Amino acid sequence: MRMIPAWLEGWLLRLIGVPAAQSRLVDVCRTALEGRAPVSVLDLGCGSGVYAGLLPFERYTGVDRSRQCIESARSHCRHSGASFQCADVSAFLADDKGPYDLVLMVGLLHHLDDSTGRAVLEASARLLTQGGVAVSVDPVLLPRQRPMARLMALLDRGNHVRTREGYGALVPDALRIHEQRVSGSELRVPQDLLLMVMRRAW
């Protein structure tokens, strides 16, 4: 059941700057793909499918374990090339054959323990096309972090918020980190997010 009206939720998200951050992430993905629009996108932990409305694509697959989120995504996305699966990410990856130009993981890894997170990234590497990229964004713990930003990270629903090094340690040999940096300046709340752009290692 929706706790607040859709119009109020949208207003609150705009108030704290979420749409600007989402647009910035789309720009990051396009830059990582060297200006190419991704033909195929896999959005792991897609939530309500926001990026299906922001990214250009021919084929988009969104996966989330929340039935409510998937139903919301299906009702809002009208693109004929988009599909949404209500499934556990690990179970989906075990059967999916890909390939994808972009594997997107926004707010996913900090909900996964180390072994599961590493396995998800390993599977993502297997599903990437040559020249494809995997992109993740998660809250991060930093040394000398702003107190409120640190509190935001510690209060997150995910049980595995990590340091920069902790997220880097999840990346398997099949992937190499192309870019890793702290972002969040687009938001009007004190939050630090770690962006990782990863490519196939071979």
Residue ranges of domains in the chain: 6-200
| pLDDT digit string, tens, across residues 29-46 | 999 998 888 899 999 999
Provide the token pair at 107. Answer: 């707010």
Cα–Cα distance, 56 to 68 (Å, whole number): 24
Quick: pLDDT tens for 175-200: 999 999 998 666 667 788 999 999 99
User: What is the per-residue pLDDT across 67-76, written as a single tens digit (0 to 9) for each?
Assistant: 999 999 999 8
pLDDT given at position 188: 65
Residue 141 · residue 150 · CB < 8 Å: yes
Locate all alpha helices (DSSP H) within 50-178, ordered by sequence.
67-76, 89-95, 114-127, 147-154, 164-168
CATH superfamily of 6-200: Vaccinia Virus protein VP39 (3.40.50.150)
- Are the beta carbons of 191 and 139 closer than 8 angstroms? yes
pLDDT of residue 185: 63
What local confidence, expressed as pLDDT, does residue 8 receive? 44
Percent of the chain with pLDDT over 90: 68
**pLDDT band of 152, cuts 50, 70, 90:** confident
Query: 61-99 as b/e, with b when 16 or more CB fall inside 10 Å?
Result: bbbbbeeebbebbbeebeeeebebbbeebeebbeebebe
Most confident of 12-21, 22-31, 160-169, 187-196: 160-169
pLDDT above 80 for 52: yes
Continuous segment of H or E residues that includes residue 64: strand 59-64
Question: What is d(CA 140, CA 167) in angstroms, rounded to the nearest whole number?
Answer: 9
Please report the pLDDT score of residue 181 as a whole number: 93
Q: Given a cut of 90, is residue 156 above it in pLDDT?
A: no
Least reliable range by pLDDT among 125-129, 167-171, 185-189: 185-189
